[in-house]
Amino acid sequence: MPRVVVVGSFNVDHAWHCAQLPRPGETLAGEYATGAGGKGFNQAVASAAAGAATTFVCALGDDDGGRLARRLAASHGIDLRAHQAATATGTAGIFVDAEGGNSIVIGAGANAALTPAFVAAQGEAIAAADVVLAQLESPVATVVESLRLARASGAHTVLNPAPANAACARELLLVTEVLTPNETEFAALLACHCGDTVDPAALGGMDEAALHRLCRILLPRGTLVLTLGAAGCFVSHREDNLRGDSVPHYRCPAAPAQVVDTTGAGDAFNGALAAGLALHPQRPFAAVVRQATRFAALSTERPGASSAMPSASEVEARYGPD
């Protein structure tokens, strides 16, 4: 069965839904909820829900959060490989406004204890994977090791360079086949590695040829998928590796949705993209991206992060067969 390995974070989410996001010094009333999150876990749940056999490599504390992660991984059929950390399981504080927008603060906790050595010990699982997916809520050296091992074994590598304020070493980009930043992350990477300054808010309306040139500067060897929220995404391929597509760059519109909460939308997209690459290696990349946008759109119609991930059957029922 096609396999995806996700290396990343697990957090216990504490979320408050309120009319608008609080300003500095402001106290608002809201509705509170808690549940499982972390970019790594959200993406692992999305990958499993999309139909791929999924392994999740992470670090957990010996506490209620860690036990929650183990219980939920089992319920989703995820093969959990967890380092037992001496610190508490990671946490996140999330504020969600009436339009589904959010602000998030992360407490890394055990996620910071995920080491390259522990990832290397999962070499058998990585060697058996079709796709290895990682983010930047884990130590950069650990993410580098994950993607390096994946490339060495012939697996495809996908890096979601989030959050935007995390360091993204050039070494990481060299072992990444598919890079999936949002507008803020893309602008931060360009500024860090290329010295180019762009306004994240202007990227959605930028001329396609100009945007393609920026993508090629940042990731000359791979495919870059720039996610643009409600505007969908922009895909930029290396000219000699179009991954089954007919053109080197194009836009993919977002699927329609009645937005309630956008917290896990990017994670739904990335998990479904990795699953699609594993499940349908001969399918044009554009078709895999289109399906991933549907997973992301449907996830926004539910509150929460990992709990908002739709199944493949739910996506098909809503948007029709791929």
Known binding-site residues for ATP equal 182, 227-232, 266-267
User: What are the residues whose beta carbons fall under 8 Å from the beta carbon of 29, sequence distance 6 or more?
Assistant: 18
| Binding-site sequence positions | 11-13, 38-42, 137, 182, 227-232, 261, 263, 266-267, 299, 302, 304
Q: What are phi and psi of 87, to 5 degrees?
A: -100, 170
* Active-site position among 63, 64, 79, 267: 267
CA 282, CA 158: separation in Å to the nearest integer?
A: 17
User: What are the residues whose beta carbons fall under 8 Å from the beta carbon of 321, sequence distance 6 or more?
Assistant: none
Burial of 270 (0-12, 13-18, 19+ CB in 10 A): buried
Q: How far apart are the first and last CA of the chain?
A: 20
3-state DSSP assignment of residue 235 = strand
Burial of 60 (0-12, 13-18, 19+ CB in 10 A): buried
| Binding-site sequence positions for K(+) | 261, 263, 299, 302, 304
By C-alpha distance, which of 94, 110, 121, 139 is closest to 305? 94
Cα–chain-centroid distance for residue 145? 18
Question: CA 277 → CA 77, 167, 182, 254, 280, distances in Å?
Answer: 19, 27, 20, 19, 5
Strand-pairing partners, residue 35, are 13
Please name the residue that has the structure tokens 């010996």: 62
* Active-site annotation holds for 199: no
CA 137, CA 134: separation in Å to the nearest integer?
A: 9
| Binding-site sequence positions for substrate | 11-13, 38-42, 137, 267
CA 93, CA 21: separation in Å to the nearest integer?
A: 13
Q: What is the DSSP letter of 255?
A: P
Instruction: Return left, alpha or beta for 12; rule: phi > 0 is left, psi -120 to 50 is alpha, else beta.
Output: beta
Q: For residue 189, count other CB atoms closer than 10 A to its CB.
A: 20
Query: Which residues are catalytically annotated?
Result: 267
